[in-house]
Structure 1
Amino acid sequence: MTPLAQRFSPFFSTTFAAFRHRNYRLWFYGQLVSLVGTWMQSAAQGYLVYELTGSAAYLGYVGFVSGLPSWLLILYGGVIADRVSRRTLLIITQTVMMALAFVLAALVFLGVVQPWHILVLAFLLGVANAFDAPARQSFIVELVEREDLTNAIALNSTMFNTGAIVGPAFAGLVYALTGPAWCFSINGISFIAVIFALGLMKMPPKPAPVNRSSAMRAIVEGVGYIRSEPLVFTLILTVFVLNVFGFGLITLVPAWAVTILHGDATTNGLLLSARGVGAVICGLLIASLSGSRFRGRMWSINSFILPLALAGFALSTWLPLSLVFMAVTGFALIAVLNNSNAMVQSRVPDDLRGRVMGIYSLMLLGGGPVGSLLVGVMAEHTSEQIAAYACAGILFLFSVWIWFFRPNVRQMG
């Protein structure tokens, strides 16, 4: 081994500790390919909706409809994730998502797509996500040893946001050259990678649940656990607030690219990719620190950086500066959300993991649609910039509340 390799070997062995596990490697690479396609569709769909309607509010409607099934079904999805093979459940949900992507591509290829088609398909995709998210969130513990769990969660964030860099940028190019249909087609094809990876995994047998109480009683048990653990409750509440006022604002990026920055589909892709760059940098940093005790402090500092970055983004009308603020926003969002996930997962008992992560996923996926609707309507009746200032102000006040009334969060390791 060369001296340079020896110098960096401890860094790589720490940062990529979860890669020691074959099943995790399969998951990572399969999901990475699929997520590039998912982000391509997300970026292209938002810009297509804005082209068809010219309405910032309609962007919010699509986001809201896609998340509505989370409020209706995701807690039940968490119960299912505790009772059946999570790998099998993921194969089913990923296959459904693939089919929906191909349907949207076909509608655009045929030249018959209408805004209501996108609303219906977004709702159906939300149904699939309601069962996919709890299984996906709780599946990681089956792929790695317990000591590598925080590292695996951080690398998952890096994987997700690498897709968020490549996907929107690629979508902007493909959209400009060929239109949105090929963006949706590539997304459909990309699901093959993760389905194939799941099929190759060798999973240990899953023990049967200790009891088979009714779904409602099982959900109540999960809620009861969260209510009895103030730190877990605070972290899950934070996930909801950040998704309403942080990711909710991301819904406006297609309108922002056109009305504020006077750009096009490529500008939209660059803004979304910049957020992903910041998020990937943060994910790698957290992975490299996964064995340290800095999570609470990193969480608290970035809870203040986030609203300041959003306010800076709202002030900027120059694309390069907007990209910088968007990257800082992505960094801060992941610093808070990723550490929240790791701190929750390190505390929840295995027999409640699916249900607790179902509630976590409800806040994660359910908050965004509420924010999309709220921020979209606010932007429609005021302006995109006023909506951004409002989100930044609310997040700042929430961070102040956490700092003074939940000081134990920043002491968490």
Structure 2
Amino acid sequence: MPSPAPAPVPPAPVPAGRRLPLPRLPRSPRRGKQHGDHAPWRSLRHRSMRWWSAANLVSNAGTWMQLTVQNLLVLQITGSAAATGLSLSVQAAPGLLMGLFGGAVVDRWPRKVTAAVSQAALGLVAFTTAALVAFGELNVGILMALAAVTGLIATVDGPACALLGNDLVPVKDVPSAIAVGSLVHSVGRLAGTALAAVAVAFLGTASAYAANGLSFLFVAAVIPFLRPVQAPPAPTPAAPQVPVPGSSHRPGSAREGLAFFMRRPRLMALAGITGLSAVFGRNYGLTLAVLVTGPLQAGAAAFGTVSTVLAVGGMAGAVLAARLRSPSVRLVGALAAAGGLLQAVAGFSPSLAILLIMVLPMAVVESVSDTAGTTVLQTDPPAHMRGRVLGVWRSASTVWGLMGPPLLGLLMELAGARGTLAVGGLLIAGAVGAGALLHHRRHTPAAVLPELTGPALPPTAVTRPETLRAAA
């Protein structure tokens, strides 16, 4: 027979004037977890991402070392500013013509292998250029050929490295990874520009190209040791994909990627928003330079200050954007419209001080918008289509880059710097607002009421079944 349960012990009496102590509840882990999920640097918790960011910092510094001296080298060889512009166009041309095919290559080959090979190839081009410069054998024809080869390799290297970086973190941390990459790019630009001046002064122009070649080899050496968190998609030959509905293109083809992009409303909306912003709202190196040196009657030093504020705002925006988890096209549109309105107001700045106040939020909004849009672009398509989607995007962005400066130059001839900033900003905000309104109307179901005969009924009566039966 079990023993009886012991009687409960009554609580001890509490002295008069004292309160009962409240029980100490365990701290909810939800708040800390949410804070960790939104931390700007959360992508760096992954070891491979830390190595990848360090490699990209070295690579960006080397790239900007080369870019800093490249235009001066072309001028030195040719003595023509037109030749300098032509070399830049030749390097950009493969992105326009071959971007889609480069993306198809990324979808067909393993990403780590593709990125390592493309980085090694870019390093070989940089070393070749350095040797030709050192021995005085570089001429215009060879220079243009090397620029074209660099642009061709970049059509594969760009999407391969971007998608490989995303594979190193969970999907929820992709915005943080992209924002960290933006900060790495900015820091690498500053470091590379400073190092280029030192290297050229002590070692000559060829040293900048050699340093860039070494930076590419460093990235290629790091890639084999990276461990993706997201499983990369199997290459197309090993795992055939189902063709895009309504498309006769074979799986894995470049044309299938274009068809997929054109049939994806989110991607088309993102392309429209980004294209408008790129053409009418982001060429601040041109529009703000004319505004500062023209209507505001300031000099080159003042525009340098404006450029510094733009850089600081871009870094601050990257930190804010790193806190995003799942940005949407709607967010990109709202940020683009806000940036357009800020640009329009900045166009009428009466002084340099007011312009600097406006430029800072413009740069922040642009940076957050860029990170949000890039995240959507790189995560919305299925894994086996992302290389081709980025290839289509590269071709489209090359068109925007070529269209923007001439169009803005013509507009400034007609409306001036202030008018160009105002018209461009209002055009962006108006187009985004019109698109959002059209989307809302298309996706808002109309209220369907039964057809009634006889006298009209009050609105409250329509919802009552007995009233509808009586009316029938």
- Confirm or deny a common fold (TM above 0.5): yes
Matched, 1:400 2:430: yes
155-164 or 68-77: bigger deviation:
155-164
1:317 and 1:251 map into 2 onto residues whose CA distance is 18
1:191 and 1:111 map into 2 onto residues whose CA distance is 24
2:68 and 2:396 map into 1 onto residues whose CA distance is 22
User: What residue identity is the alignment partner of 2:273?
Assistant: T
Find the counterpart in structure 2 of residue 187 from structure 1: 212
Matched, 1:219 2:257: no
How far is the alpha carbon of 1:127 from its aligned partner? 0.3
1:5-404 correspondence to structure 2 within 5 Å: 10=35, 14-49=39-74, 57-111=82-136, 113-114=138-139, 116-172=141-197, 174-175=199-200, 180-203=205-228, 206-209=233-236, 210-211=239-240, 218-244=253-279, 250=285, 275-288=310-323, 290-291=324-325, 296-297=330-331, 300-305=334-339, 330-371=363-404, 374=406, 378=409, 390=420, 393-394=423-424, 396-404=426-434
2:306 and 2:65 map into 1 onto residues whose CA distance is 13
1:310 and 1:61 map into 2 onto residues whose CA distance is 32
For residue 192 of structure 2, give the secondary structure of its aligned residue in structure 1.
helix
Residues 232 and 383, structure 2, Cα contact 8 Å, conserved in 1: no
For residue 192 of structure 1, give the secondary structure of its aligned residue in structure 2.
helix
1:178 and 1:104 map into 2 onto residues whose CA distance is 15
1:174 and 1:245 map into 2 onto residues whose CA distance is 37
1:119 and 1:300 map into 2 onto residues whose CA distance is 41
2:211 and 2:79 map into 1 onto residues whose CA distance is 25
Q: Give the % identical residues.
A: 23
User: Structure 1: any 5+ residue segments left out of the alignment?
Assistant: 1-6
Residues 100 and 388, structure 2, Cα contact 8 Å, conserved in 1: yes
How far is the alpha carbon of 1:144 from its aligned partner? 1.3
Query: Number of aligned pairs?
Result: 396
User: What residue identity is the alignment partner of 2:385?
Assistant: L
User: What residue identity is the alignment partner of 1:225?
Assistant: F
Residues 61 and 192, structure 2, Cα contact 8 Å, conserved in 1: yes
2:269 and 2:83 map into 1 onto residues whose CA distance is 32
How far is the alpha carbon of 1:409 from its aligned partner? 9.2
Select the structure of larger CA radius of gyration. 2
Residues 327 and 375, structure 2, Cα contact 8 Å, conserved in 1: no
1:91 and 1:326 map into 2 onto residues whose CA distance is 39
1:386 and 1:269 map into 2 onto residues whose CA distance is 21
Alpha-carbon displacement from aligned partner over 1:207-231 (angstroms, at most 9, x marks no partner)? 3433278779733332333333323
TM-score (normalised: structure 1): 0.75
Higher relative contact order (CA 8 A, sep 6+): 1
1:346 and 1:314 map into 2 onto residues whose CA distance is 39
Q: What is the RMSD computed on CA atoms of the aligned residues?
A: 4.6
For residue 380 of structure 2, give the secondary structure of its aligned residue in structure 1.
coil
Residues 40 and 171, structure 1, Cα contact 8 Å, conserved in 2: yes
Alpha-carbon displacement from aligned partner over 1:302-359 (angstroms, at most 9, x marks no partner)? 55436855996999998x9999888766544433222111123342222322221221
- Cα distance change on mapping 1:325 and 1:136 into 2, 3 Å: farther
User: What residue identity is the alignment partner of 1:398?
Assistant: I
For residue 253 of structure 2, give the secondary structure of its aligned residue in structure 1.
helix
1:174 and 1:343 map into 2 onto residues whose CA distance is 39
1:226 and 1:382 map into 2 onto residues whose CA distance is 34
For residue 406 of structure 1, give the secondary structure of its aligned residue in structure 2.
helix
- Cα distance change on mapping 1:76 and 1:99 into 2, 3 Å: same
26-35 or 298-307: bigger deviation:
298-307
How far is the alpha carbon of 1:242 from its aligned partner? 4.2
